[in-house]
Amino acid sequence: MFGFLNNNKTRFVLFQIIAVLIVAFVAYYAVSNLNYNIDRLGIRSGFGFLDIRAGFDIAEHLIAYTADSSNLDAFYVGLINTITVSIIGIIFASVLGIIIGIARLSSNYLVSKLAEIYVEIFRNIPILLQILFWYNLMLISLPSPRNSFEFFNVVFFNLRGVYFPKPILESGFYWVMVAFLLGVFISFFIKWFFNKKHDSTGIKQRTWDYHLLSLLGLPLGVYFIFGSPVYFDYPNLQGFNFRGGLFFSPEFLALVLALSIYTATYISEAIRAGIESVDKGQKEAALAMGLTQAQTLKFVLLPQALRVAIPPIINQYLNLTKNSSLAAAIGYADLVGVFSGTVLNQVGQAIEIILMTMAVYLTLSLLISLGLNLFNYKIRIKGLNQ
Amino acid sequence: MSIFTLKQSRPAPKTQTGVLGWTTKHLFSSKTNAVLSLFALYFLYLILPPLLDWMIFGADFSAKTNAECTREAACWSYIGEKMNLFMYGMYPTEEYWRPNLLLTITLSFAFMVRLLKHQPYKNKAILTLFIIYPVIAFFLLYGNDFLGIKIVETNQWGGLMLTIVVASVGIVASFPIGVFLALGRQSRMKTIQFLSIAYIELIRGIPLITILFMVSVMLPLFFTEGINFDKLLRALIGITLFQTAYIAEVIRGGLQAVPKEQYEAADAIGLSFTQKMVFIILPQALKISIPNIVGSFIALFKDTTLVLIIGIFDMLAIAELATNDTDWLGRKTEGIVFVSIVIWMLLYLMSRYSKALERRFNTQH
């Protein structure tokens, strides 16, 4: 009677229906309880809270924000801070990671041992501990604003953070940016043109001076034509604190420092693995063919090493972005700190807020994975069918 | 006729042997290397003396009060004073024997598993151990009125003990679900495959902290009125939800590494799907994944520190909490450094173990 159950196709359909039913039941149970509980506890729902006044101040905001701004503005401030921390962290982590990765392969015993010790120490300490450590270290060791560390009387570093002169752009600067974009475009054209020439005639010409001219010369020229449309707002000490200038808090510095140091250990390992993955014979063959050291590196070794190293590095960028959410622990105003923290406590609409936060991180992750997939597609070994 | 005799070989030049030779070869082999070595030495000179001074030579190991310690160096007697807090949290002092006993039992179980290695019935014995162990652990740590073991509420748990409990429960609970998700992702049934992929990628795309926030504020809303979750239980659910996705990916790696012929052979001799998986594929796949599972456990152990954000007193939270003691103000750095050292040692040992496993299981020589 139940013989039809032995048919593979029937079983497949049956199993899938059961799976969908289970998921649907769990979802139904959760959502109906959710609705009931929301009614019972009198929690508001919907996204109306985004428009109401936030009512709290945020120390670091890169867009206009006051306590009178809406919760949506607070969300944007948090989002922009998260992205800022991630980008700056990614830059520092990459630089540090590349240096450490190369240092580990050095023939110099001391240098490679130091790099190894660095990796072993910082990789095996949880990132949250490192963030708290650097933050605590800054709080106990930095001087008060009156005794700040000064650099050329324009950069100040103290307990309240680090102050840089802030460039203020006038309207003419718009044209400088246009000129720069144009320069990038011209630079691509130059590359295309000389590559074509190289393909058809075999003559390889020096092109870096053209690139320099279009990328740097053109914007600089426009900059001077418009009469240097930038002036600097210098930080100056007023009373107990500095005013003006571009300001980064100790929370921000501790976060960037910890994220870079931690992620650099993984990046360095990826770099090392990439370089070690290239067979020694490749280098010897390239040199035997008469390529110079630089050419060997550029055309033979690096393309192969990067193919192995870049995917894990991009994954680390993703991890760094996700780890930046730990800012909440030291009170830096990132997305989680501002939105899932302060706004959630004030409004109490946990569902909407946490779903929005998750959606943001998911989008960032998907964007980074998309970048990774594009890269993998671009560097795939062409003609290899697999 | 002259007879050719070997001359006594001369010793290698002084510059090629001993300390001098080693130094020339490894530190000063070229101009660049010499400059690099000098830089590295200068760097060490900058870092090491103040660090050692703070940690060891200037540090105080015997002071009774905070006032006896200097400001400039570490005050390790603070750690000594708070050691119980760091290890057990607010667990009642007279009940410390319970976590200690559990640790002893754990170690002896691990030892027994090693002893059983070549015995018949070892699988059944190990399985039994694995089933009774969590029960023993729960009754010992939480307590049970019927057995006459005093109940210790989970809000009193803390310190290293809690860190280990959270990480272990996370890995053990996420393992079976992870296996199912990994199989689901490999499945030819499109709906099941889609559901598995959606779950795995969703979880992997968001930070653990948002999941912890979610379980700590949203979880009770999803259940009928009256079902209430312990704070620790919420954290454990969150961590399990998170870890499951990562374990699933690790096991998927193992499944993919099993040669295709194994699947085909199992099908060819007419095994059912369950038989094929349980007897042929999973034993091989899991064996391949063991080093990565240990790696995943290491990552989880590191992530466990995040529970501090939702108000659970793991070791790091204790380092923060202990600074509130007015007798020992301003000793936060010592707490953080101590916790770092303890967790670092545990993680370093585990990563060594993982490397050793990788070598042991590497059958492709």
Give domain status of residue B58, yes or no: no
Q: Is the pLDDT of residue A385 over 60?
A: no
Which pLDDT tens digit goes with each residue over B51-101?
888 888 888 887 777 777 777 778 888 888 888 888 888 888 888 888 888
Please check whether residues B234 and B343 belong to one and the same domain. Answer: yes
Which pLDDT tens digit goes with each residue over A3-14?
667 777 888 888
Mutate to test the interface with A, among B163, B217, B320, B354 (most CBs of A within 10 A): B217
Distance CA A176, CA A167 (A): 14
Please check whether residues B356 and B225 belong to one and the same domain. Answer: yes
- Please list, in sequence order, all residues whose beta carbon lies within 8 angstroms of the beta carbon of residue B106, skipping any fewer than 6 positions away: B133
Low-confidence ranges of chain B (pLDDT < 50): 365
Please check whether residues B302 and B192 belong to one and the same domain. Answer: yes
3-state secondary structure A69-133: CEHHHHHHHHHHHHHHHHHHHHHHHHHHHHHHHHHHCCCCHHHHHHHHHHHHHHHCCCHHHHHHH
- A18 to chain B: closest CA residue: B192
Q: For residues B106 and B98, is the Cβ–Cβ distance under 8 A?
A: no
- Return residues 15-34 of A near B (CB < 8 Å): 15-16, 19-20, 23, 29-30, 33-34
Give me the pLDDT at residue A386, please.
Answer: 45
Which of these three, B132, B151, B170, is where a domain ends? B151
- Please list, in sequence order, all residues whose beta carbon lies within 8 angstroms of the beta carbon of residue A220, skipping any fewer than 6 positions away: none
Range B7-40 burial, b when 16+ CB lie within 10 A, else e: eeeeeeeeeeeeeeeeeeebbeeeeebeebbeeb
Name the residue with tokens 């870049």: A310
**Which structure tokens are listed for A20?**
């969908």
**Which structure tokens are listed for A336?**
């989680």
Give domain status of residue B65, yes or no: no
Please check whether residues B228 and B141 belong to one and the same domain. Answer: no
Please check whether residues B87 and B100 belong to one and the same domain. Answer: no
Give me the pLDDT at residue B357, please.
Answer: 81
Distance CA A23, CA A17 (A): 10
Which pLDDT tens digit goes with each residue over A56-94?
777 777 777 877 888 888 899 999 999 999 999 999 999
Mean pLDDT of the region A23-37: 88
Please check whether residues B157 and B99 belong to one and the same domain. Answer: no
Identify all chain A residues contacting B207, using CB atoms and an 8 Å cutoff. Answer: 322-323, 325-326, 336, 361
- The residues facing A238 across adjacent strands are A241
Which of these three, B151, B171, B200, is where a domain ends? B151
| Four-residue CA torsion sign, A34, A35, A37, A38 | positive
Range B332-352 burial, b when 16+ CB lie within 10 A, else e: bbbbbbbbbeebbebbbebbe
Count CA within 13 A, CB hemisphere, residue B3: 1
Domain that holds residue B289: 76-91+152-361
Please check whether residues B140 and B86 belong to one and the same domain. Answer: no
- Return residues 86-125 of A near B (CB < 8 Å): 106-111, 114, 120-121, 124-125
Q: Is the pLDDT of residue A300 over 50?
A: yes
- Inter-chain residue contact A108 with B40, CB threshold 8 Å: yes
Distance CA B89, CA B99 (A): 12
Interface residue A129 vs chain B (CB under 8 A): yes
- Inter-chain residue contact A336 with B195, CB threshold 8 Å: no
B334: distance to nearest CA of chain A, Å?
10
Distance CA B25, CA B36 (A): 14
- Inter-chain residue contact B29 with A107, CB threshold 8 Å: yes
Judged by DSSP in three states, A279 sits in coil
Distance CA B58, CA B74 (A): 7
Q: CA–CA distance from A186 to each of A190, A192, A209 (Å)? A: 6, 10, 13
A186: distance to nearest CA of chain B, Å?
38
Say what the ipTM of the complex is: 0.86
- Inter-chain residue contact A111 with B37, CB threshold 8 Å: yes
Among partner residues B40, B41, B206, which is closest to A358 by beta-carbon distance? B206
Distance CA B231, CA B238 (A): 11
Name the residue with tokens 């030819």: B188
Give me the pLDDT at residue A262, please.
Answer: 96
**Which structure tokens are listed for B340?**
């770092």
Give domain status of residue B98, yes or no: yes
B218: distance to nearest CA of chain A, Å?
7
Q: Read off the DSSP letter of residue A144.
A: P
Interface residue A232 vs chain B (CB under 8 A): no
Give domain status of residue B6, yes or no: no
Which of these three, B115, B134, B151, is where a domain ends? B151
Give me the pLDDT at residue B264, please.
Answer: 92
Please check whether residues B143 and B86 belong to one and the same domain. Answer: no
Q: For residues A71 and A343, is the Cβ–Cβ distance under 8 A?
A: yes
Q: For residues B252 and B226, is the Cβ–Cβ distance under 8 A?
A: no
Judged by DSSP in three states, A238 sits in strand
Give domain status of residue B49, yes or no: no
- Inter-chain residue contact A129 with B336, CB threshold 8 Å: yes
- Inter-chain residue contact A133 with B188, CB threshold 8 Å: no
CATH number of the domain that B351 lies in? 1.10.3720.10
Mean pLDDT of the region A174-203: 87
Give domain status of residue B43, yes or no: no
Identify all chain A residues contacting B320, using CB atoms and an 8 Å cutoff. Answer: 132
Give domain status of residue B47, yes or no: no
Distance CA B302, CA A124 (A): 8
Distance CA B175, CA B247 (A): 6
Query: Measuring CA to CA, which residue among B335, B329, B314 is closest to residue B79?
Result: B335
Count other C-beta atoms under 10 Å from residue A336's C-beta.
Answer: 27
Domain count, chain B: 2
Distance CA A338, CA A62 (A): 14
- Please list, in sequence order, all residues whose beta carbon lies within 8 angstroms of the beta carbon of residue B39, skipping any fewer than 6 positions away: none
Q: For residues B297 and B172, is the Cβ–Cβ distance under 8 A?
A: no
- The residues facing A243 across adjacent strands are A236
Among partner residues B189, B222, B336, which is closest to A133 by beta-carbon distance? B336
Mean pLDDT of the region A120-141: 90
Among partner residues A114, A336, A362, which is closest to B209 by beta-carbon distance? A336
Size of interface A-B (CB pairs under 8 A): 147
Give domain status of residue B325, yes or no: yes
Query: Measuring CA to CA, which residue among B317, B212, B233 is closest to residue A336?
Result: B212
Please check whether residues B246 and B127 belong to one and the same domain. Answer: no
Please check whether residues B226 and B329 belong to one and the same domain. Answer: yes
Among partner residues B43, B207, B308, which is closest to A322 by beta-carbon distance? B207
- Please list, in sequence order, all residues whose beta carbon lies within 8 angstroms of the beta carbon of residue A332, skipping any fewer than 6 positions away: A60, A81, A85, A249, A251, A252, A255
Please check whether residues B188 and B311 belong to one and the same domain. Answer: yes
- Inter-chain residue contact A108 with B36, CB threshold 8 Å: yes
Distance CA A212, CA A186 (A): 11
Among partner residues A16, A137, A362, which is closest to B206 by beta-carbon distance? A362
Please check whether residues B104 and B248 belong to one and the same domain. Answer: no
Q: For residues B351 and B298, is the Cβ–Cβ distance under 8 A?
A: yes
Query: Measuring CA to CA, which residue among A192, A180, A183 is closest to residue A211?
Result: A183
**Which structure tokens are listed for A14?**
């049956």
